[in-house]
Amino acid sequence: MASFQSLPGFREFYPESLARRNHLFRCWRQSAHAYGFLEYDAPVLESLDLYKAKSGDEIEGQLFSFTDKGGREVALRPEMTPTVCRLVGAKANALKRPIKWFSIVDFFRYERMQKGRGRCFAQFNADIFGEAGPEAEIELIGLLVQCLRGLGLTADDFYVRLSDRNLWFYYLEALGFDADQARGMLGAIDKFERLGDDAFKIYTDAHGELAADTKGRIVEFLGIKTLPQLEAIVGQSDSVELSARLDDWRRVLGGLNAMGLAAFVTVDLGVVRGLAYYTGFVFEAFDRKGDLRALAGGGRYDDLVGKLGGPALPAVGFAIGDMTMELLLEQRGLLPNLVVAPDVYAVIAGAEERLAAFADINLLRAAGYRVDYPLRELGFGKQFKHAAELGARIAIIYGGEELARGVVKLRDMNKREEVEVPRSQMAEAVRDFLSA
């Protein structure tokens, strides 16, 4: 056992696992670019106050925080939202709207490890600033679906549950709740899926008993799965706000339907995402088979840029975590061997042939091909074995007899066939083979 180990909750990425992680990142980045999002980055270390301002003092217990040598209270970032709000807020008047940004970076949380959860993890974050209408939600949910589909997942593998804190507030208001009671009830609704009826105890302990009818109306609301059901129940109410909000729902679901994404999205008002800063639509993506944590989550947070010192600026965003994502892809067999293989492996007879091979190897590498060769002298059998194990598509054989005639042999590693080509045409032959 080595004397030094990695810190608890921190992963190490040997080439095979880094290849898988890069595969995720590559797909996410490609999806974001397809949707017109621009990539940004920012410091991994931030002022502790940035997170306290957003989440309250109690957040400190879950942070990697410390005092730096200049006496500053700092923390490794546990999330991207405060940072991106600061970036956007600082230049809000100079940035073209809508502002569509994304990032793929590491985060740190001082938590106990669990399945799909560690102390250092990566997230894909995407946000739209400057659009108050539900078109921003359409664009982001579309991107979220694409990020997962791009990895090979289908509507049979995952779905997005769409909910709305505004809808809840209007509904609860119509049932006679005041603002404080409504917030308390949202906390209970957040737990309803796991605790069932016991979740209401969270509310009744703080705000007193519920009328049986009221509780029934809330449970009925929680059971809504489709837009027609929602329309039917909202239609019974005379709340103007409630029916106005229904128009936003029609726009979001209608837009996603027009994008061909209806199979990926369900109405599910059981999602409220405990965070107090969400102000409207909220959504989470889940594995359909359901034994994993949420794959992704997000929502609208129209007040946060202003709260963190910027101008008032509407915003919607979501994040996908890499750990649960990788578990799901693993379960579905969507993470094949992704280690980069060489295009060409040079098989070299001896010391003199090596110098000839070096010239060609350098030529091919400069042209952008992935080329490998043995660093030591080895028998031909061993060299071919290495070429096959590395996954090379072509072996180029530098033998004394061939070089004397000014040729090399190109071996198709899959077909086990060889052709001789003049060395002067070697690069063209490689190009033709690999592009065929």
Partner RNA sequence: GCGACCAUAGCUCAGUUGGUUAGAGCACUAGAUUGUGAUUCUAGGGGUCGCGGGUUCGAAUCCCGUUGGUCGCCCCA
282, 298 contact by CB (below 8 A): yes
Chain contacts with RNA (rule: CB under 7 A): 1, 5, 8-9, 51, 55, 59, 62-63, 78-79, 81, 109, 111-115, 117, 194, 273-275, 293, 297, 319, 349, 378-382, 384-385, 387-389, 397, 399-402, 409, 411-414, 416, 418
**CB contact at 8 A, 128 and 316:** yes
> SS3 of 236, please?
coil
What would you report as the CA-atom Rg of the chain, rounded to the nearest whole angstrom? 28
Helix, strand, coil percentages for the chain (3-state, nearest 5):
45, 20, 35
Helix (H) or strand (E) holding 334: none
Q: Least Å distance between CB 112 and RNA?
A: 4
Instruction: Give the whole-angstrom CA distance, residue 237 versus residue 218.
Output: 13
Q: Can you read off the two tokens belonging to residue 390?
A: 């590395």
Task: For the CB of residue 383, give the shortest distance to RNA in the complex, in Å.
Answer: 8
70 versus 290: smaller Cβ distance to RNA: 290
CB of 93 to RNA, least distance (A): 26
Question: Among residues 259 and 308, whose Cβ is nearest to RNA?
Answer: 308
Cβ closer to RNA: 197 or 401?
A: 401
For residues 340 and 16, the answer to whether their CB atoms sit within 8 Å is: no
For the bound state, the minimum distance from the C-beta of residue 241 to RNA, rounded and expressed in Å, comes to 26
The nearer residue to RNA, 116 or 134, going by C-beta atoms, is 116
360 or 402: whose CB is closer to RNA? 402
The alpha carbon dihedral of 160, 96, 48, 57 has a sign of negative
Integer Cα distance of 151 and 287 in angstroms:
14
Nearer to RNA, 5 or 424 (CB): 5
Least CB distance to RNA at residue 275 (A):
4
At closest approach, how far in Å is the CB of 355 from RNA?
15
Tokens of residue 302, six digits = 């129209």
